[in-house]
Amino acid sequence: MDNSVERSIKNYILSEFLAGEDPDYLRVSTPLISTGILDSMAVVKLLLFIEERLGVTIAPHEVTPEHLGNIASIVRLVRSKH
């Protein structure tokens, strides 16, 4: 499951917020919030994507840079819900 979740989140971020970027540059450890790749609106869109496509609901208290700071932490959060 890990790889498919990671792939799907990575593809979503690339297509929605980094159009035109070389996929190799987006690593699981790339900071997403501190670099401005995800702003408030982007965070909301990503959460909706996770909810609708991965069937996982993120609670308001989990919407933090610690959980959403990079793809690895997002995948960990999604995994913890399964």
Binding region for another protein (CB under 8 A): 18-22, 25-26, 30-31, 34-37, 39-41, 43-44, 48, 60-61, 63-65
Judged by beta carbon, residue 37 or residue 77, the one nearer another protein is 37
Judged by beta carbon, residue 1 or residue 80, the one nearer another protein is 80
The HSE-up count of residue 24 (CA atoms within 13 Å, CB side) is 0
Judged by beta carbon, residue 1 or residue 72, the one nearer another protein is 72
Instruction: Show Cβ contacts of residue 57 under 8 Å, excluding neighbours closer than 6 positions.
Output: 51, 81
Closest approach of another protein to the CB of residue 79, in Å: 20
Closest approach of another protein to the CB of residue 68, in Å: 8
Q: Report the distance separating Cα 80 and Cα 74, nearest Å.
A: 10
Instruction: Show Cβ contacts of residue 61 under 8 Å, excluding neighbours closer than 6 positions.
Output: none
